[in-house]
Amino acid sequence: MKVITLLTAGHIGGIETRCRDYALYSKHDNLVLILWGDGYVDSQMEKLGIRVINLHASRRNIFATIHKVMQVVREEKADVLMALHEAPMSHLCLMYAHKTIKSIRTIAYAELNAVDMLRSSEKKRLWLRKAVLKASLSRADDVIAISKSVRQSLLEVFDTPAEKIRLIYNGTDLSRFPMKDKASVSDEVSASSNDELNLIFVGRLIPEKGVQDVLMTLSKMPDFRYHFRIVGDGPYREKLENLSRDLNLQDKVEFLGSRDDVPELLSGSDVFIHMPRWEEGFGIAIIEAMSKGLICICAQSGAIPEIITDKVNGFLVEKGNPDQLSATLLSVSRMTSGERNVIAEAAHSRAEDFSIEKYVKNLDDLISGEWHE
């Protein structure tokens, strides 16, 4: 079957990476259609042999953009059109295809909690975003929720018909993230001396990811020995770097930007830390860290408790509780190697439930009409 996936842009991120992996391993004929802007992921996809069309469409001219998308959809004789982002433009295209091409199957992805899909803090045109998303989710043939938390939010915020929602957890290529062997870690990827705890965060640098809260907590732990590496980029990076300097953490905190060697960087780390302010829709970076056998300390937010069982395969911290975060960091630093290994093995085992193979099969089966939850 011919599947066209809509992306708003080709910049690096969890959604774009998973889109790449799905197109690479799927049994269907996949085409990735990018609405506007070149980026890292689209060039990477092309190098892997994935078909990509970048429309360089207008962000303002709705009708011209829809026309461009529909022209490709018709020329390619697509069987399925799938929108991954919450951007209203993607959903307007999805609805138009659903209305004008009777043979096409439309799939709307819910990658975020419904409130975060709306960007509720941005009051301007909030009513319009909600109207478009609610209409699209109700009219699509299938709506994919990436976690139980997201599914529940769709029911509560958008009144999405329950019978249309399919629960398909995200997956990642775990072969790139084998259990780490500390003895083989080079000095280049191991950031600190043996008596310090290597902390790492991997993700897009936006306020909602809560890196600023981690920095504030660390600034109040003067006797805690650690090195914290922040991997990723985004519009909030400069403010985070300034905050790190203001808190006098520049000798302990390192900003690495976007990197291709994330598996190696994880191998050189002890603890993966993720304290989002929003209700996290899933958490691919958490899965990758768990697969590597890192101790994961994460907020009890959104879908994260669906992945981590507290004190079994990681640690959950109440969102917005810096005292609990600092206490957990200190507790982990005092664990014996045997205690850490028990958590690491359990984390690695849990990560196997979220392999790219399972994800691709579930999505392929849904598209083929063979999927059962």
Asked if residue 118 belongs to a domain, the reply is yes
Task: Decide: 56 and 36 in contact? Cβ < 8 Å.
Answer: yes
56 and 185 in a single domain? The answer is no
121 and 259 in a single domain? The answer is no
Task: Give residues with Cβ within 8 angstroms of 247, minimum separation 6.
Answer: 215, 216, 218, 219
169-189: pLDDT as tens digits:
999 999 999 998 754 444 444
Per-residue pLDDT of the chain (373 residues; tens, 9 = 90+): 999 999 987 676 778 888 999 999 999 999 999 998 766 677 889 899 999 999 988 888 999 999 999 999 999 999 999 999 999 999 999 999 999 999 999 999 999 999 999 886 677 788 899 999 999 999 999 999 999 999 999 999 999 999 999 999 999 999 999 998 754 444 444 444 567 999 999 999 999 999 999 999 999 999 999 999 999 999 999 999 999 999 999 999 999 998 989 999 999 999 999 999 999 999 999 999 999 999 999 999 999 999 999 999 999 999 999 999 999 999 999 999 999 999 999 999 999 999 999 999 999 999 998 877 7
187 and 333 in a single domain? The answer is yes
CA distance 191 to 142: 45
230 and 166 in a single domain? The answer is no
87 and 209 in a single domain? The answer is no
Would you list the DSSP string of 183-239?
A: GG--TTT--S-TTSEEEEEES---GGG-HHHHHHHHHT-TT--EEEEEE---TTHHH
163 and 184 in a single domain? The answer is no
104 and 219 in a single domain? The answer is no
Range of the domain at 7: 2-171+355-368
218-253: pLDDT as tens digits:
999 999 999 999 999 999 999 999 999 999 999 999
193 and 342 in a single domain? The answer is yes
225 and 337 in a single domain? The answer is yes
161 and 232 in a single domain? The answer is no
Give me the amino acid identity at 198. Answer: N
101 and 181 in a single domain? The answer is no
User: CA triplet 115, 153, 233: central angle to 5 degrees?
Assistant: 50
DSSP annotation of 50 reads -
Query: Residue 77 — left, alpha, or beta (φ > 0 → left; ψ -120 to 50 → alpha)?
Result: left
| CA distance to 18, 103, 126, 139, per residue, from 13 (Å) | 9, 32, 24, 27
Task: Give residues with Cβ within 8 angstroms of 235, minimum separation 6.
Answer: 205, 206
Give the CATH number for residue 267.
3.40.50.2000
Q: Which residue has the tokens 């975020």?
A: 112
